[in-house]
Amino acid sequence: MGATGADTATGRHGDAALAIELVGISKSFGPVQANRDIDLPVRRGTIHGIVGENGAGKSTLMSILYGFYTADSGEIRINGKVTDIPDSLAAIRAGIGMVHQHFMLVEPFTVLENVILGAEDGALLRPSLAKARRELTRLAEEYELQVDPDAIVGDLSVGFQQRVEILKALYRECDILILDEPTGVLTPAEADHLFRILENLRAEGKTIILITHKLREIMAVTDEVSVMRRGQMVRTLVTAETSPAELAELMVGRRVLLRVEKTEAKPGDVVMDVRDLSLTDASGVERLRGISLSVRAGEILGIAGVAGNGQSELLEILAGIRPATGGTVSLHGAPLDLSSITNADERRQSRMAHVPEDRHRRGLVMPFAEWENSCFGYHREDRFDGPFDTLNRVAVRQHARESIEKFDIRPPSCDLKTANFSGGNQQKIVLAREIERDPEVLLVGQPTRGVDIGAIEFIHQQIVALRDRNKAIILVSVELDEIQALSDRIIVMFDGRISGERMAGKTDERELGLLMAGIDPAKGQAA
């Protein structure tokens, strides 16, 4: 271990030896090739970013490094030595720790119990717990990682849960720490804190791999960055010598269309009006606090915010699949029922459509054939009437074929199982179904999550086209770029409140970013 110290002393950007070197890694899941012949060198004592779009293969690659999957071919070298990592235990032994995107914590356990799980000393818990308690105090001071060791993990906020994950890795004395999309659920302030922790760790000589699709973060904290695209490694660059524009281009493979072609909005009358909407969940946490907003015909209202600040709940309440605990929503002046989860049908009848955030869980029934999904939610309408309350299969399939044609859904087969379509085409199935009903109000959540570039453009165009037909659209997205590109007016949510409202043309990323952190620059203080 003495050599490690000497190496780090030679400097971060010097010729420090490689902590990790992946050579020719390939991995496929059935017919899908997630990683193809990937090389990745990571210098010791650096923060190394890995960027790429959703589905580019970043997480798979890191899961291979952490022993969660085994590669079909290729080689892993840790500190120059070829290392076999068949399981997580081997990864831990090789000094690798990982903070997963979905935390791997046992919620009913205390912080201490979570930390020692798998790293206990001996068969009895008592000595391990005592040791972990001491160790946690030390780590807390060294790296700004304060957590109450006796707290039940399930009661902690996500920011604190993430600290527990980092503590787990450090307790196992890892030299290499992998973080998979660590800021997706964090507020900007929490993210800043995380980055300070990472810098502290780097100063201690640890090597950090940061997986993200947010270029801002890459530019802010990494020393080097590797770009992945469609399962392949595109290039590894020194962060200081590149730009977000260059990285973005490498990520998507061609110039990104940052602005969606659209004309000036001509907003009409208010279609939907939300007053003092509030939501307190079963455990007593206030998810929404006094939300008031309105949408006009012919405009796209974007709702921005870090994931988990109440946008999803708001969307679901409006869609009638989640009850609110207070407030009113009216459509053309008539109040909507906000009392139960079973109002989706009523909403559809009053000409509201909803493209849900999670198409796998909500928007589609995956084992259904495409045609069965093409009428899902509208299956009780007269046009699909068959004898004896049956579904008129001829009518539904005709409808499905028309949608496939109009929305260029591929492969163009309405008998194919929905699960066998690509993400982009699945989203088109949902969008076709909802837009074809020509709704007065369209609620859209994360319309392009997990969707390929080609489909993104198409989906954006469809949403704008609906606006141009003088319909009201509420768009929820955690992708600020998407919000900016599509919206005519933007509302930012933070901690269940509206932290600010701006016209799309009169604001910028910086201002929206501050609002997403709960700070209103116009007022110069926390909202």
Residues numbered 278 to 337 that lie near other proteins (CB under 8 A) are 319, 321
Site string for other proteins, 58-87 (x = CB under 8 A): --------x-xx-----------------x
Cβ 378 to other proteins shortest distance, Å: 9
Choose among 13, 54, 393: nearest CA to 230: 54
How far apart CA 333 and CA 244 sit, in angstroms, is 46
Cβ 508 to other proteins shortest distance, Å: 35
Contact 168, 112 (CB under 8 A): no
**Any contact of residue 369 with other proteins (CB under 8 A)?**
no
**Any contact of residue 100 with other proteins (CB under 8 A)?**
yes
- Selected from 123, 254, 259, 508, the binder of other proteins by CB under 8 A is 123
Residues numbered 21 to 40 that lie near other proteins (CB under 8 A) are 29-31
Exposure string over 210-233, b if 16+ CB within 10 A, otherwise e: bbbbbbebbbebbbbbbbbbebeb
- Selected from 328, 368, 437, 527, the binder of other proteins by CB under 8 A is 368
Stretch that binds other proteins, among 10-18, 45-53, 130-138, 364-372 (CB under 8 A): 364-372
Q: Which is nearer to other proteins, 176 or 247 (CB)?
A: 176
Q: Which is nearer to other proteins, 323 or 521 (CB)?
A: 323
**Any contact of residue 155 with other proteins (CB under 8 A)?**
no
How far apart CA 292 and CA 85 sit, in angstroms, is 53
Cβ 171 to other proteins shortest distance, Å: 10
CA distances, 457 to each of 304, 442, 486 (Å):
20, 18, 11
How far apart CA 63 and CA 98 sit, in angstroms, is 9
How far apart CA 66 and CA 39 sit, in angstroms, is 16
Strands 489-494 vs 497-503: parallel, antiparallel or unpaired = antiparallel
φ, ψ (nearest 5 deg) of residue 97: -125, 150
**Any contact of residue 493 with other proteins (CB under 8 A)?**
no
Phi-psi region of 320 (alpha: psi -120 to 50; beta: other; left: phi over 0): left
**Any contact of residue 168 with other proteins (CB under 8 A)?**
yes
Determine the size of the site formed for other proteins (CB under 8 A). 69
Handedness of CA 303, 305, 306, 309 (dihedral sign): negative
**Any contact of residue 119 with other proteins (CB under 8 A)?**
yes
**Any contact of residue 397 with other proteins (CB under 8 A)?**
no
- Selected from 196, 379, 383, 469, the binder of other proteins by CB under 8 A is 379
How far apart CA 36 and CA 188 sit, in angstroms, is 34
- Selected from 17, 140, 391, 395, the binder of other proteins by CB under 8 A is 391
Contact 446, 478 (CB under 8 A): yes
- Selected from 7, 21, 113, 313, the binder of other proteins by CB under 8 A is 113
Stretch that binds other proteins, among 181-189, 272-280, 401-409, 413-421 (CB under 8 A): 413-421
Cβ 376 to other proteins shortest distance, Å: 5
Handedness of CA 104, 108, 111, 114 (dihedral sign): negative
Distance linking the first and last C-alpha atoms of the chain? 49
- Selected from 12, 213, 230, 417, the binder of other proteins by CB under 8 A is 417
**Any contact of residue 195 with other proteins (CB under 8 A)?**
no
How far apart CA 88 and CA 241 sit, in angstroms, is 35
The rounded radius of gyration (Å) of the Cα atoms in the chain is: 25
Those residues with Cβ within 8 angstroms of residue 283's Cβ, 6 or more apart along the chain or in another chain: none
Cβ 356 to other proteins shortest distance, Å: 6
- Selected from 39, 41, 75, 109, the binder of other proteins by CB under 8 A is 109
Question: What is 69-95 written as a DSSP string?
Answer: S--SEEEEEETTEE----SHHHHHHTT
Cβ 63 to other proteins shortest distance, Å: 8
**Any contact of residue 163 with other proteins (CB under 8 A)?**
no
Cβ 479 to other proteins shortest distance, Å: 22
Q: Which is nearer to other proteins, 367 or 524 (CB)?
A: 367
Residues that bind other proteins (CB under 8 A): 29-31, 66, 68-69, 87-93, 98, 100, 102, 104-109, 113-114, 116-120, 122-126, 128, 168, 319, 321, 341-342, 344-346, 348, 354, 356, 358, 361-368, 372, 376-377, 379-380, 386, 388-391, 393, 417, 419-420
